[in-house]
Amino acid sequence: MGDQSFNAFKMAQAQFDAIAEKLGLDHATRDLLRNPDKEFHFNIPIKMDDGTYKVFRGFRCQHNDARGPSKGGIRFHPQETIDTVRALSMWMTWKTAVVDIPLGGGKGGVICDPHNLSLNEQEKICRGWVRQVYKNIGPLQDVPAPDVMTTAQHMIWMMDEYEVLAGAKYPGVITGKPVGIGGSLGRVEATGYGVIFTLREALKEEDVDIKNTSASFQGFGNVAQNAMKLYHLLGGHIIAVSSWNNSEQKAYTIRKEDGIDINKLLMFTNKFGEIDIEEAKSHAYEVLDADAWMKQDVDILIPAALENQINAKTVGLISDKVKFIVEGANGPTTPEADEVLKEKGVLVIPDFLANAGGVTCSYFEQVQTNINYYWTKEEVLEKLDETTTSAYHKISTLARKKKLYMRDAAYLISIQSVAEACKLRGWV
């Protein structure tokens, strides 16, 4: 989001256009699917703790709901843009389709920095966001969820505001809620675990023992933390991880050649996933530059932060030893970088498959809410594993059969599924 020369929505449209051409989609279907069906821009005025008033800018995009209600997170970020939200809503449409859950794609955001806001101010933003889109979201319309710098606490504030306005209980209006107030066990782990479930299957297909692999991660938020935990549990060796430092407004990579202990690292990490660099140095970690995470001589790279991280400028930094890239983030790899990775024979597990664990578990939360019966954590993660593994092999089989780049195979399956739903409804 910080790179003004990068436009995530143009990238998402370019990816769509290439697959639409391969599928031979008619012009009406292309026009329908290359833009959001609806988008909302609005102001959120709030009274700050010091008594002054400030206006925050909010967004919600609903890309397509042919396969079910729109679904997607809400980001709080100081550099949020409407084009990023548009792109993410489109990617969510393909994500829900590729794992075959009956939902469409949506996304939301607010231009703000939670680092500089009290909890009281954040609550006001959450409630103000809901008031602006109240008539356009709901359990059968559009179901928001947490995303970058939003949490279960933000979701419960939003749900509460919706219920106040509706005058009734609607726990299905939002997912990612706290357990005990309509939330699902396993939701916290879901996205990161889904990343490693897909990696595990890829390694099996390539006849590689995960215990003999090493990995480097970008980002240390919820997705990366849980992916690292499961990867380590399965026997993988973590060499490096990057982390944003808000006080300095820059990222660092920390490295330990003999392996990073995720649990010890969490002891000096704040709630935003920011590692205390001085503490890291005192625990014998090397502190390197922001891009060092992708320069490591490892088998696996897992970008799990923001979009546009592996691009035409940075792809050349990647070691020839890297054989797998698993996209925990949305849109971390640009089409230009994809071309280089194809030539190098790197197996890239695309974002809308690799990180679909979050929306899959959100769907499970909706199901549990609807029947008012909640599963154990083991049941949730088992169902998540089954869904993710099935989707991986469906895409891998097509990729191998047609000799396709895995991202292209995933797009072929998901876009065709959504296009067929639109045609069956008579929209095009």
Whether 121 and 48 have beta carbons less than 8 Å apart is answered as yes
For residue range 329-380, what is the model confidence (pLDDT) as tens digits?
999 999 999 999 999 999 999 999 999 999 999 999 999 998 999 999 999 9
Whether 375 and 390 have beta carbons less than 8 Å apart is answered as no
Asked whether residue 255 falls in the same domain as residue 205, the answer is yes
For residue range 182-233, what is the model confidence (pLDDT) as tens digits?
999 999 999 999 999 999 999 999 999 999 999 999 999 999 999 999 999 9
Strand order across the 38-47 sheet: 38-47, 53-64, 104-111, 70-77, 142-146
The secondary structure of 184-226 as a DSSP string is -TTHHHHHHHHHHHHHHHHHHHTT--GGG-EEEEE--SHHHHH
Distance between CA atoms of 163 and 173, rounded to whole angstroms?
9
The answer to whether position 81 is within a domain reads yes
Percent of the chain whose pLDDT exceeds 90 = 93
More confident residue, 379 or 276: 379
Look at residue 246 and tell me whether its pLDDT is greater than 90: no
How crowded is residue 48: how many other Cβ atoms within 10 Å of its Cβ?
13
- Report DSSP state, residue 51: S
Token representation of residue 392: 């991986």
Q: Which amino acid is at 72?
A: G
The answer to whether position 83 is within a domain reads yes
What is the reported pLDDT for 3?
58
Reported confidence tier of residue 301, pLDDT bands at 50, 70, 90 = very high
Look at residue 24 and tell me whether its pLDDT is greater than 90: yes
**Short-list 271, 259, 252, 287, CA closest to 114:** 271
Tokens 């020369």 map to which residue? Answer: 5
Reported confidence tier of residue 307, pLDDT bands at 50, 70, 90 = confident
Token representation of residue 345: 């024979």
The answer to whether the Cα torsion of 316, 318, 322, 325 is positive or negative is: negative
Alpha helices in 99-143 (DSSP H): 119-133
Q: Averaged over 284-299, what is the pLDDT? A: 95
How crowded is residue 342: how many other Cβ atoms within 10 Å of its Cβ?
14
Tokens 């940075």 map to which residue? Answer: 314
The answer to whether position 401 is within a domain reads no
CATH number at residue 69: 3.40.50.10860
Tokens 């008539």 map to which residue? Answer: 135
**323 tagged catalytic:** no
Look at residue 152 and tell me whether its pLDDT is greater than 80: yes
**Under DSSP, is residue 417 helix (H, G, I), strand (E, B) or coil?**
helix
Distance between CA atoms of 279 and 264, rounded to whole angstroms?
11
Q: Please report the beta strands in 226-317, taking only residues with DSSP state E, as ranges in sequence order.
A: 237-245, 250-255, 286-288, 300-303
Q: Which distant-in-sequence residues (6+ apart) come within 8 Å of 66 by Cβ?
A: 104, 418, 421, 422, 425, 427
Asked whether residue 94 falls in the same domain as residue 196, the answer is no
Asked whether residue 157 falls in the same domain as residue 243, the answer is no
The answer to whether position 122 is within a domain reads yes
Asked whether residue 159 falls in the same domain as residue 199, the answer is no
Look at residue 320 and tell me whether its pLDDT is greater than 70: yes
CATH number at residue 329: 3.40.50.720
Asked whether residue 218 falls in the same domain as residue 294, the answer is yes
What is the reported pLDDT for 249?
86
Of 323, 345, 367, the one marking the end of a domain is 345
The answer to whether position 94 is within a domain reads yes
Of 170, 201, 224, the one marking the end of a domain is 170
Distance between CA atoms of 423 and 243, rounded to whole angstroms?
45
The answer to whether position 332 is within a domain reads yes
Of 316, 345, 374, the one marking the end of a domain is 345
- Report DSSP state, residue 234: T
What is the reported pLDDT for 100?
96
Domain that holds residue 68: 38-170
**Short-list 31, 40, 46, CA closest to 58:** 40
Active-site residue identified among 71, 95, 107, 295: 107
What is the reported pLDDT for 257?
92
Q: Averaged over 321-332, what is the pLDDT? A: 96
Distance between CA atoms of 265 and 413, rounded to whole angstroms?
39
Asked whether residue 206 falls in the same domain as residue 337, the answer is yes
Q: Averaged over 29-39, what is the pLDDT? A: 98
Q: Tell me which of 197-206, 241-250, 289-298 is least confident.
A: 241-250
Number of structural domains the chain divides into:
2
Asked whether residue 155 falls in the same domain as residue 237, the answer is no
The answer to whether position 5 is within a domain reads no
What is the reported pLDDT for 1?
52
**Short-list 416, 304, 422, 415, CA closest to 12:** 415
Q: Averaged over 380-386, what is the pLDDT? A: 98
Asked whether residue 196 falls in the same domain as residue 318, the answer is yes
Distance between CA atoms of 366 and 139, rounded to whole angstroms?
8
What is the reported pLDDT for 5?
73
The answer to whether position 394 is within a domain reads no
How crowded is residue 349: how many other Cβ atoms within 10 Å of its Cβ?
24
Q: The whole model's pTM is what? A: 0.92
